[in-house]
Each structure stands twice: as C-alpha cells, then as structure tokens.
Structure 1
Amino acid sequence: MIEQTLRILDPGTPVVNLAINGAFYFNVVFASYNREEGVATFFFGPGVLTVEANKIDAITTA
C-alpha cells in the first residue's frame, strides 16, 4: 500500500509524518519515487533522505 501511495504523490508534496522502521520524521517533502529500484527520496531539513519503500511504515501528507 505504501508503494501505491508513493506512485501518486507529486514531487514537492509536504509530508507531515514519515515513519521508517519505527523512527519518525516530521515536516519532510516528497521528492521522487523510483519504481524500478523501489526507492523513495524526501527532502529533510538541510539534506536528502533516501529510503527503500518497503521500510516505510506510514506516510501522512498535509
């Protein structure tokens, strides 16, 4: 289900909460999703957060 959500998000979508393996990230911005590699990228603070989609527990958008 997370992968389906990642497929429909537009780059620049604000993400209020992002849970990855039990860790929570707040106020990140969705950048992209690479279906072939199963990797999502988010802007987080001053950097970039790249994560395998199967490690994402939950996404809450604004």
Structure 2
Amino acid sequence: ITNLPNNPAYNASKAAVMNLAGRRSLHLRNMVIWVYFLAPGWAFTEVSGSKSDAEKSVAA
C-alpha cells in the first residue's frame, strides 16, 4: 500500500478494499471463482502536484 502523505482516508480505504478482496478470495477458493485486486501506487501528475510538493508536506 502506498502511503499518500496527509491523506489517511485514502490509505484506510485502500487497505480496507485490499482486506475485503483477500477475504473474498479465501471464501471462494474452493469454487471456480478467482478474485484479483490491483492496487496501483500514487502517481504524481500536474493535477496531483509534483513529488517535491509531497515530500515538502511530509517534512512539515
């Protein structure tokens, strides 16, 4: 899980969805159903700000 600086709601919701997918995969393991979970990391773009901005907020 990528910990986005100063955004605990994002981090908590990502962890919750990952946990839900893991529990579903255990529950459905005897059936012919597969559960996949993709959790891409945070991407720094013009909209989200530069990496240096995020690093500055962590340092503050």
The normalised TM-score by structure 2 is 0.24
Answer 1 or 2: which has greater strand percent.
Answer: 1
Answer 1 or 2: which has greater helix percent.
Answer: 2
The normalised TM-score by structure 1 is 0.24
